[in-house]
Amino acid sequence: MIEVAPAPNLPVEIRDSMTRDAVRLAQHVGYENAGTVEFLMDKSGKYYFIEVNARLQVEHTVTEEVTGLVLVNQLASRNVAPCSVRRLDIKIIYIYIYIYIYIYE
């Protein structure tokens, strides 16, 4: 299996819109920590909210690779001071390609 980030077929406008909606959702409920807002998109480009995971997910390393930001360090330093990084300020600066090889008997 090959994983590519950012999603090569996802238009930037839709990605940006999803980001804004995720930030609005977190602001609306007063959430100020690490988390993942998940959406499902249909073939026409319309997307739908699925769920919020209020934790770092195992895939957080993908975000770290494409942004150059070490999320775990941000969380650790948050115990001492407020997080200095805001989601809308984070930029995608790298392309991430990960290849999984599954072996089944």
| Axis crossing angle, helix 71-78 with helix 60-67, rounded to the nearest 10 | 100
Which of 2, 82, 84, 87 lies closest to 36, judged by CA?
A: 87
55 catalytic? Reply is: yes
Q: Of residues 15, 20, 24, 55, which has the active-site annotation? A: 55
Cis amide bond preceding 11, omega within 30 = no
Which are the catalytic amino acids? 55
